[in-house]
Amino acid sequence: MPESRRNIPNIIITGTPGCGKSSHSQSLVDQLNRGFAKETTIKFKHFDVSAFAKEKECLESYDKKLDTHVVDEDKLLDELEPELEKGGAIVDWHCCEIFPERLIDLVVVLRTDNSKLHERLTKRNYKDNKIQENLDCEIMEVILTEARESYIPEIVIELRSDKAEDLDENVDRISAWVENWIKDHPRGVTNELQTVDGEANDSDEDDEDDEDNEDGELVTSGEDEGSYIPDNEEDSDDALASYHESEDPATVEEGLTEQQKYDLEQKEQDDVEVLNEEDEETNDTANTKRMFQSRIYVDYVFFRCY
């Protein structure tokens, strides 16, 4: 069976609702198709995923609380993947992570100032809670983070979409990128999942400090446990506690002078105070992190269902 290939790139235009995804996508398709009008084999198509999902009956249910449909992502991909394999798909949706990386060549994340975003969503008659959810997700960069975690950094770009001039500049910029992509890939690119023969080697960084000894045995640069030897007499007292760290306290105190015992007790007290302070800081940090994770999860669920 011949290898499946595409000769023109697929692009995702994503961002918070109200950032101008549909306007950018349709303008980009129109400009590209005009520019390649003489090339009968090059044809770009705008896929509004929300409309596409309804057309192909890929909706699972309707969420009354969020006032939105829930998309069956598996069914959506079954319908959309054949279109992506042809190439030339301009995919317009607020969610980008579900699309296979092997079929995506560029991800454009549109960003909008919150005041502009609020104005646009108000004109759409969005409810106040829905507007706030969108504003919060834009502030916390939920979609931008999703894009960067789902695709290699080289294909993810962030563009402003605050005014009409931004749309024209962005479309020109993306169109120029498409022209260069086609020139750089005269034979197109494969749609197949790429595999590497054999298992991947460990990172070179893990072994950068290792070396072979005279017998050919691998020796790490780290010091052997318990092998610490003070460089001079002044280091002895400082190293005392760490040197005996794993030993019984009673054994440690044997043979010590009164001053050394006193210093050791003081160090133990100081260590306890430091540990208590670190525990308090860790608890505060953990509580803050849980709060933000909970907030981000709510936003994520909202966008996946939008």
Report how far Cα 187 is from the mean position of its chain's Cα atoms.
Answer: 30
Q: Is 21 annotated as a binding residue?
A: yes
Looking at the DSSP assignment, which residues form a beta bridge with residue 225? none
Nearest alpha-carbon partner for 144 in 305, 296, 306: 296
CB 273 within 8 A of CB 299: no
Question: What is the C-alpha to C-alpha distance for residues 114 and 137, in angstroms, rounded to an integer?
Answer: 10
| Residue 5 assigned to a binding site | no
Q: Is 292 exposed, middle or buried (0-12, 13-18, 19+ CB in 10 A)?
A: exposed
Site of tokens 């709060």: 291
Query: Annotation-wise, does 163 bind a ligand?
Result: yes
- Beta-bridge partners for 45: 89
Consult the annotation and say whether 15 binds a ligand: no
Q: Is 20 annotated as a binding residue?
A: yes
Cα gap 110→133, rounded to integer Å = 17
Binding residues for ATP, as ranges, are 18, 20-23, 124, 163
Q: Binding site: residue ranges?
A: 18, 20-23, 124, 163
